[in-house]
Structure 1
């Protein structure tokens, strides 16, 4: 089977509770609920993002960020998907995935960022995001492992990560802590 280039045609993924589809401007209003949620902000992975903590309080700022994500997609830097609840069609956050090229031991690893409204930072939602990643992203992004961040307070996320097979990295990624890793075929 030939895998389509994720940057030519962005795939949509669906599980029981959630669907993932490429983020677009129509998502801005719902996503502002996530990115203005002060309880959620500490769980976002803003490492190496030029000081942006992704706490947005205006629709204008949210729309500007979606424009940035769209530009980065067209530039093949990363893909940003909106996390959509299947039963209500509510947009509850986003995920980002990219193939990391770096002069370190994590070269050719994928990096998965998960940004969820605090009401949805739950194991059932996170489990489905991780299942989609494990089933699709190794091939779609041609990576040998996936890294993702979970701060110590992210107990629901950490429980999901361990359940799905992720392990603490136990070393820094660049200068950053709190990463988990899942190796392909593990």
Structure 2
């Protein structure tokens, strides 16, 4: 594990296309565009969550961000806002956490990627995966990263396979996994 603790000081990450910064209440208005996007909702990974991440009011979005921030403080997961660098738009968010050890895959983390439907494309997804592949194994002390992609998520699936993720059978859902050191 890294000398830096992601839960003590949340890193900011950059690629040419996107930046990731810890989500705050200041992001609520722009993130509502993502979480109220009915075309995007089916692509979100809401497995084991009490709702489907479909929020239609500023109050719902702020409440969810408050929950994300409490979860960060209790070291449950980290939620970053995805910012498109060329426009400075906040186009979605990602979440990462260490889920523990599963016999078939070992110590693993789960990466949730929530993007507005008009940004569900290879450039954005591969930029997020580039950051995950470079930093999240060490930041979260995992040997495998899992992320979900439903069969209709063609751009996401193409991006996942291009970035070294392979389909696996996990909780009877549509998950892709990538082992560390590929």
| TM-score, normalised with respect to structure 1 | 0.94
Partner of 2:28: 28
Offset of 1:108 from its aligned partner?
1.9
Partner of 2:170: 172
The runs of at least 4 consecutive aligned structure 1 residues that moved more than 6 Å come to: none
8 Å contact from structure 2 (residues 102, 108) kept in 1: no
2:180 to 161, 171, 184: 184
Greater strand share, structure number:
2
In structure 1, C-alpha distance between the alignment counterparts of 2:78 and 2:47, rounded to whole Å? 17
Offset of 1:55 from its aligned partner?
0.5
| TM-score, normalised with respect to structure 2 | 0.96
Offset of 1:2 from its aligned partner?
5.1
The structure-2 alpha-carbon separation of the partners of 1:133 and 1:103, relative to structure 1 and needing over 3 Å to count, comes to closer
Offset of 1:172 from its aligned partner?
2.5
In structure 1, C-alpha distance between the alignment counterparts of 2:139 and 2:93, rounded to whole Å? 18
Partner of 1:156: 155
Q: State the SS of the aligned residue for 1:101.
A: strand
The total of aligned residue pairs comes to 182
String of CA shifts for 1:9-64, please: whole Å, max 9, x gaps: 000000111100000000000000000000000000000112x0000000000000
For residues 92-103 of structure 1, what are the structure 2 equivalents within 5 Å? 92-101=91-100
String of CA shifts for 1:72-127, please: whole Å, max 9, x gaps: 00000000000001122110000000001256534520100000000000000000
Partner of 2:109: 110
For residues 142-153 of structure 1, what are the structure 2 equivalents within 5 Å? 142-153=141-152
